[in-house]
A and B are shown apart, each in its own frame.
Chain A
Amino acid sequence: MSELSAVKETISPILDRYDRDKSNLIAILQDVQAEYNYLPREAIAEVSQALDIPLSQVFSVATFFRAFSLKPRGRHSVHVCLGTACHVRGAASILQQMEKEMNVCCGETTEDKKFTLEGVNCVGACALGPVVVVDGEYIGHVSVNKVKPLLENYD
């Protein structure tokens, strides 16, 4: 129960920020996720109760949109851009190399919780392609050979 009350305490100001208005569900979930780095089960339940939206509906929104994760994520989020411009410049090979170096599949988190590897359908920085975004920082002109040294920059 104590965990639940901790969740309540964290989420309450977020709900208030949006006047506990149902139509702000997506924005609320985005802010909750920003707080926890993912959407904990208790938080989804709390949002459902506070907004009086069926749990199933909150869950369907949380699983429909790519922005939400129901699993804890790594300390660093690595997004490999898979937009068309990056694709024609070889993004698929970059992703393959990332998967090899991290020993995870796209969408997963490494065992040591260091990285979460995700693909993203275009970040709109096509001139830099192939581009990788690590913790919000844009890294351009990545090549297969640059993947390993790039990951070594993070701890």
Chain B
Amino acid sequence: MNDKQQKLTSVAELEKKRQGLNKQRSSDAPMIAVCCGTGCQAYGGKKIADAFKEEIEKHGLGGKVEVKTTGCHGFCERGLLVVIRPQNYFYQRVRLEDVPEIVSETVIGGKPIERLLYESLATGEKIASEEEVPFYKKQVRLVFGDNGYIDPYEIDDYIAVGGYSAFSKVLSGMTPEQVIDEVRKAGLRGRGGGGFPADIKWQSSREAHGEPKYIICNCDEGDPGAFMDRSLMEGNPHAILEGMMIGAYAVGSSIAYIYIRNEYPLAVKNAYRAIQQAKDYGLLGKNILGSGFDLEIKINRGGGAFVCGESTALMASIEGKVGEPRPKYIHTSHKGLYNKPTVLNNVETWANVPLIINKGADWYSKIGTENSKGTKIFSLVGKINHTGLVEVPMGITLREIVYEIGGGIPGDKKFKAVQTGGPSGGCIPENLLDLPVDFDELTNAGSMMGSGAMIVMDEENCMVDIARYFLEFLEDESCGKCVPCREGLRRMREILDDITQGRGEESHLEMLEEMSEVINDGALCGLGQTAPNPVMTTLKYFRDEYKAHIQDKKCPAGVCKSLITYHIIEEKCTGCKLCVNACSYGAIEFMGKKTPVVLHQSECTKCGACKEVCKLKAIEIR
């Protein structure tokens, strides 16, 4: 930040500040936007941004061309991403050595560099502009879009693109009831998993007795494979703060918490910084913008427990206690944190709020399906060509997401399933790919929206192994308070161990179904109740695969180590020795040049190192 910022004391001053910022900035000024999200940081991130700054100085363009370090642009598969504005040339897989050329050719010369452009998977055609890249073309980036334009470290960037205007609109002319009404008309449902209508929580907390009232932002994104909340918190923390401010005003709260996973150090850092800046600007604290409204936002770091994503466990953790859930006979909106009325929403939900206030409920509710409004950010990961974060309107089909945005499955493999909703969700098979994605449709299919992870699996993924994986995950993460979850999940995992290790029996499948029902009925919290979903959906849609494990003692996908063996295809093997060197267990014997190697099954641990290095595809799994 520049000089010490004077506190803004009225809505008018905020607007004046915005006008001033926009006067200094022009939308067609040259800018190099360098993605510094966690994914791109692995490819150099800040180092590349610094190299750009140096190069710009070298050409005497300091002050004329801005180098902006932004949050995640979403297309993580192709990191590091650089966008040259105003032409919006989209460069992917940029490395340090490309920097001088980008500056001389594109920034100064105005021409795109072919080599760094995205190449269409279907036609091989090079695509220059960001909007035309298929990954972005079908997306509707209402919440996530600003990430590519602003530096999350600079509150001025957020204010310049219209930030905090929804908050000032609320302060200067809306009653709390009007705010809640607007959110109700917009049809905003919680993006954290359950899809509970936000306005009902807000209204019920507002009406509940007890002071103070609390607001919580849940950024304990424990759902494996989901990282949209992290990317929002890292890339645009002020949008989340603004949503929380509006929520606090509507509910009548003056203390709010952000609960962030400690595994997300950059998100923690950016959130601290954003809160400090908002304080310096007078957007947090006492008598905000002269309205008489007070709000303080504190940060709590999680301790690495999946169950703390559950609302009551999260609140216990904020109180400094062990993160165990409690029964919710009394809703947290009445008795939550410290037994006071509490509204808890997740990051993405809060980030939607300023949008609704700014553009209006009528506009917002036109997007999406009948009962699921707006957009949803999904993390598209696993066996997919375009791994990344995609924001799409509710109601889009899975097929559009996987094939049009995601670019399909790599290596000509066959699609098998997409897993949504994390450990609480389920696996959706190919024949349901035309399912419109919204809260209710996914639940009807036996899965759920969850926080929006979509893990794509191909023919080389074993569905029994996936079910086992989730059970092991949940067994490990179970807080241990209630018996159905603590004991039941362990028993189910043991059965799946048996099946994947060749000791499966026909009766096991029935037993799994029965136990699923009991856990579903009997567990204390939402995490336990939904824990059997991965097993139930794979049993429903992929029963044949279970049967192959039990009856034939075979793993058709070639994953379950007890049921597979590696073999050398003698006709293909030339004795190049690559696999011999790769095997750390001495299981492969070199028999001389141009002679096929010999694999000793007794030594083989089936780690797959040999198959990974073999260039001749001379090793197969049977």
Q: A residues near B, CB below 8 A?
A: 22-27, 29-30, 53, 57, 60-61, 64-68, 82-85, 87-90, 93, 96-97, 100-101, 120-129, 136, 138-140, 143-145, 148
Establish whether residues A85 and B224, one from each chain, have CB atoms under 8 Å apart when the complex forms. yes
Q: A26-B303, A96-B605 are in contact. Are A127 and B320 (CB under 8 A)?
A: no
Task: Give the residue of A29, A96, A125 whose beta carbon is less than 8 angstroms from that of B39.
Answer: A125
Query: Which B591-621 residues sit within 8 Å CB-CB of chain A?
Result: 605, 607-609, 612-613
Establish whether residues B382 and A84, one from each chain, have CB atoms under 8 Å apart when the complex forms. yes
Q: A26-B303, A27-B301 are in contact. Are A84 and B419 (CB under 8 A)?
A: yes
Task: Give the residue of B77, B262, B263, B477 whose beta carbon is less than 8 angstroms from that of A30.
Answer: B262
Q: Which of B223, B301, B382, B388 has the most CB of A within 10 A?
A: B382
Mask, B155-172, CB within 8 Å of A = 1, is 000000000000000000
Establish whether residues B455 and A121, one from each chain, have CB atoms under 8 Å apart when the complex forms. no
Establish whether residues A66 and B382, one from each chain, have CB atoms under 8 Å apart when the complex forms. no
Q: What's the nearest-Cβ distance from chain B to residue A51, in Å?
A: 9
Task: Give the residue of A67, A126, A145 whose beta carbon is less than 8 angstroms from that of B381.
Answer: A126
Question: Whose C-beta in chain A lies nearest to the C-beta of B419?
Answer: A84
Known: A85-B224, A125-B38, A126-B379. 9 other contacts (CB 8 A): A25-B320, A27-B301, A64-B305, A84-B224, A84-B381, A120-B263, A123-B263, A127-B388, A139-B42
Establish whether residues A124 and B382, one from each chain, have CB atoms under 8 Å apart when the complex forms. no
Question: Whose C-beta in chain A lies nearest to the C-beta of B221?
Answer: A124
Stretch touching chain A among B120-128, B225-233, B542-550: B225-233
Q: Tell me the bound Cα distance from A43 to B226 in angstroms.
A: 35
Q: What's the nearest-Cβ distance from chain B to residue A136, in Å?
A: 7
Q: What's the nearest-Cβ distance from chain B to residue A122, in Å?
A: 4
- Cβ of B473: which chain A residues have Cβ within 8 Å of it? 82, 121
Task: Report, nearest first, the 6 A-B pairs whose CB atoms are least far apart.
Answer: A65-B303, A124-B227, A127-B76, A83-B224, A66-B304, A25-B320
Establish whether residues B305 and A85, one from each chain, have CB atoms under 8 Å apart when the complex forms. no
Q: Tell me the bound Cα distance from A122 to B38 in angstroms.
A: 13
B584 at the interface (CB under 8 A from A): yes
Establish whether residues A61 and B320, one from each chain, have CB atoms under 8 Å apart when the complex forms. yes
Q: What's the nearest-Cβ distance from chain A to residue B394, in Å?
A: 22
Q: What's the nearest-Cβ distance from chain B to residue A145, in Å?
A: 5
Task: Give the residue of A25, A82, A144 whose beta carbon is less than 8 angstroms from that of B608.
Answer: A144
Q: Tell me the bound Cα distance from A148 to B264 in angstroms.
A: 27
Establish whether residues B42 and A122, one from each chain, have CB atoms under 8 Å apart when the complex forms. no
Question: Whose C-beta in chain B lies nearest to the C-beta of A122?
Answer: B224
A-B contact list, 7 entries, CB within 8 Å: A25-B320, A66-B304, A83-B225, A85-B225, A88-B382, A90-B608, A125-B76
Q: Tell me the bound Cα distance from A145 to B265 in angstroms.
A: 29
Task: Give the residue of A23, A87, A101 whose beta carbon is less than 8 angstroms from that of B469.
Answer: A87
Q: A67-B303, A127-B388 are in contact. Are A88 and B455 (CB under 8 A)?
A: yes
- Cβ of B453: which chain A residues have Cβ within 8 Å of it? 84-85
B193 at the interface (CB under 8 A from A): no
Question: Whose C-beta in chain B lies nearest to the C-beta of A127?
Answer: B76
Establish whether residues A61 and B461, one from each chain, have CB atoms under 8 Å apart when the complex forms. no
B116 at the interface (CB under 8 A from A): no
B457 at the interface (CB under 8 A from A): yes
Query: Which B236-273 residues sit within 8 Å CB-CB of chain A?
Result: 262-265
Establish whether residues A64 and B319, one from each chain, have CB atoms under 8 Å apart when the complex forms. no
Query: Which B79-101 residues sit within 8 Å CB-CB of chain A?
Result: 79
Task: Give the residue of B42, B320, B387, B607 whose beta carbon is less than 8 angstroms from that of A144.
Answer: B607
Establish whether residues B584 and A84, one from each chain, have CB atoms under 8 Å apart when the complex forms. no
Q: Which of A123, A127, A138 has the most CB of B within 10 A?
A: A127
Task: Give the residue of A23, A85, A96 whose beta carbon is less than 8 angstroms from that of B318.
Answer: A23
Question: Whose C-beta in chain B lies nearest to the C-beta of A138?
Answer: B42
Q: A87-B469, A93-B607, A129-B381 are in contact. Are A122 and B225 (CB under 8 A)?
A: yes
- Cβ of B18: which chain A residues have Cβ within 8 Å of it? none
Establish whether residues B382 and A89, one from each chain, have CB atoms under 8 Å apart when the complex forms. yes
Question: Whose C-beta in chain A lies nearest to the C-beta of B613?
Answer: A145
Q: What's the nearest-Cβ distance from chain A to residue B408, in Å?
A: 16
Establish whether residues B477 and A126, one from each chain, have CB atoms under 8 Å apart when the complex forms. no
Establish whether residues A61 and B322, one from each chain, have CB atoms under 8 Å apart when the complex forms. yes
Q: A27-B300, A67-B303, A84-B469 are in contact. Are A100 and B584 (CB under 8 A)?
A: yes
Query: Which B34-70 residues sit within 8 Å CB-CB of chain A?
Result: 38-39, 41-42
